[in-house]
Amino acid sequence: MPTERPVQEFAPAKINLSLHVTGRRSDGYHLLDSLVVFADVGDHLQVTTASETRVSVTGPRADGVPDDARNLVWKAADHFGQPADITLDKYLPAAAGIGGGSSDAAAVLRALAQATGRSIPPGTDRLGADLPVCIAPQAARLQGVGELITPLPPLPAIHAVLVNPGVEVATPKVFAALRSADNPPMFATLPQWPDAATLAQWLRGTRNDLEPPSVILAPVIGDVLTRLRRQPECLLARMSGSGATCFALTTTRARAEAIAARIAVPGWWVQPVTLT
């Protein structure tokens, strides 16, 4: 019997520390090789089983987020086969390259599994390429079209500041502007990184192949990256996903907070975080 008690879930932001586009399948999906981590900032959800699905979107980033069947949380309830009353408290910017919608949908699937005692039905990738990795949010290497997930051993403590300059970048447009879809993958085996500085140094040998086309489509992303790279505490600055959110890695939370305080611009979303 499904319980009608509300289940609370946290939907963390997903950050692509690297994102190599390594090919394109005949069905048009792009092949990726990406190092994914999760932040301690995210959306908050309350999910209760119900006779029909209803979504209400609240919170500081609710503006413009659909509260109907277009919302991925609604699609997640449909996928699970369990109508639900969902309150989505939105803190993450939408269409921002940090997987907000996918992480929300994964949180609904976890909540419904808990409420019903049933397991999450297979085929969650149909809800989005980022969805499978968001189901058990932990550092992982993502390959294929997002379905090949290799969890990584615990990472060293890494901190970052996330910066979104308030422009929405549509993922399909970024892929369409990509010059080549056939780029080299990351190294076949990943090392263990003893600390954030070593990880950042290693990441310098990796890329986000979507960064150049996104910067062309939204030049303000280039401005964000330039400002982040000028900060003395910044170990490495890069864009996440298809943008526009960028991150600067630091060795301590205090350093991430120092950059955040210095870089704040009205209209920009600036958030110090710890990554796991």
Q: Smallest gap, in angstroms, from Cβ of residue 175 to ligand ATP? A: 10
Q: Return d(Cα 27, Cα 8) in angstroms, integer.
A: 37
Tell me whether residue 14 is one of the annotated catalytic residues: yes
Please work out the total of residues on this chain that contact ligand ATP, with binding judged by CB under 6 A.
21
If one asks whether residue 12 binds ligand ATP (CB under 6 A), the answer comes out as: no
Number of H helices, E strands in the chain: 8, 10
Q: Return d(Cα 272, Cα 262) in angstroms, integer.
A: 12
If one asks whether residue 102 binds ligand ATP (CB under 6 A), the answer comes out as: yes
Residue among 33, 104, 130, 209 flagged as catalytic: 130
Q: Give the x-and-dash track for 127-146 against ligand ATP (CB under 6 A).
A: ---x----------------
- The CA-atom distances, in angstroms, between 44 and each of 91, 182, 245, 265 are 8, 37, 20, 26
Q: Which of 85, 104, 209, 233 binds ligand ATP (CB under 6 A)?
A: 104
Tell me whether residue 89 is one of the annotated catalytic residues: no
Q: Return d(Cα 121, Cα 66) in angstroms, integer.
A: 24
If one asks whether residue 96 binds ligand ATP (CB under 6 A), the answer comes out as: yes
Q: Smallest gap, in angstroms, from Cβ of residue 253 to ligand ATP? A: 23
Q: Where are the beta strands (DSSP E) in the chain?
A: 7-24, 30-49, 54-58, 84-89, 140-144, 148-151, 158-164, 236-239, 246-250, 269-275
List, by residue number, the catalytic residues.
14, 130
List residues near ligand ATP by CB under 6 A: 65-66, 70-73, 88, 94-102, 104, 130, 171, 241-242
